[in-house]
Amino acid sequence: MQIKNINAIEAKRLIDGGALLVDIREANEHADENIPGARNTPLSLIAGTPLAGAPAVVFHCKSGARTRMNAAALAACTDADAYILDGGIDAWKAAGFPVKRG
């Protein structure tokens, strides 16, 4: 399955509609700052983690670089439509959406 890049506004719409938001950053990064409701599954562990039960999955990191570099591996983790939050949590904040800090 091919993974698609979407902006923060599109990601928010999908998440509000039931998509699973997956933060692929390491646990310490997620603990420092995260998007409320995001499931933290670090890239180093994601290959063995089933991501089922959602109509779509939106992956994010800090800036989008990690998700883009690992797009094929991320898409292989789910049978649902898969997306990358282009610009990561930085783009989410720039769009004015909430984050939770430490």
Active site positions, annotated: 61
Q: How far is the C-alpha of 50 from the C-alpha of 93, rounded, in Å? A: 28
Half-sphere exposure of 43 (CA within 13 A, CB side): 19
- Residue labelled with tokens 């904040």: 93
Q: From the centroid of its chain, how far is CA 74?
A: 10
**DSSP-based three-state secondary structure for 85:** strand
